[in-house]
Amino acid sequence: MRFMMLMYPGDTAETGAVPDDKAVATMRKYNDDLTKAGVLLALDGLQPTAKGARVRVSGGKRTIVHGPFSEAKEIVGGYWLIQVRSRDEAVEWASRVPLTEGEMVELRQVFELSDFSPEKVVYSPG
């Protein structure tokens, strides 16, 4: 089964500041542990919202709002996609993410395509 771990860096999400060497080394060690255990499928870090945009539909109208956005607490800074044997194992991995004050990791289980009938598949390559 798969889980996504979503990183919410809090106030630092928008600064785009490069973390110090020690923080980088700690995070690299954590990512190495995930890789060596064979559980890591994918991971990415996300740039500040100044480089992104939001598209919404409201009152039947589509609006585009360019970043940056104000609510730092709701901004995702990156994610890991992991494959594990149990939810408990996923919780254990999430609890090992190196975090500093104000940071949060949210663990979400991924729907498997087999959870849907073929007609409900919304992604088709090519």
Q: Characterize 26-55 residue by residue with b for buried, 16 or more Cβ atoms within 10 angstroms of its Cβ, and e for exposed.
A: bbeeeeeebeeeebbeebeebebbeeeeee
Smallest distance from the beta carbon of 31 to other proteins, in angstroms?
12
Q: Based on CB atoms, which residue is closest to other proteins, 6 or 41?
A: 41
Contacts 24+ apart (CB under 8 A), 61-69: 68/14
Smallest distance from the beta carbon of 108 to other proteins, in angstroms?
16
Q: Which residues bind other proteins (CB under 8 A)?
A: 35-39, 41-42, 81, 83, 85-86, 88-89, 91-93, 112-114, 117-118, 121, 123-126
Q: Based on CB atoms, which residue is closest to other proteins, 59 or 126?
A: 126
Q: Based on CB atoms, which residue is closest to other proteins, 23 or 42?
A: 42
Whose CA is closest to 64, among 75, 53, 50, 49?
A: 53
Q: Based on CB atoms, which residue is closest to other proteins, 61 or 85?
A: 85
Q: How far apart are CA 78 and CA 38, in angstroms?
A: 20
Place of tokens 């785009």: 16
Smallest distance from the beta carbon of 8 to other proteins, in angstroms?
22
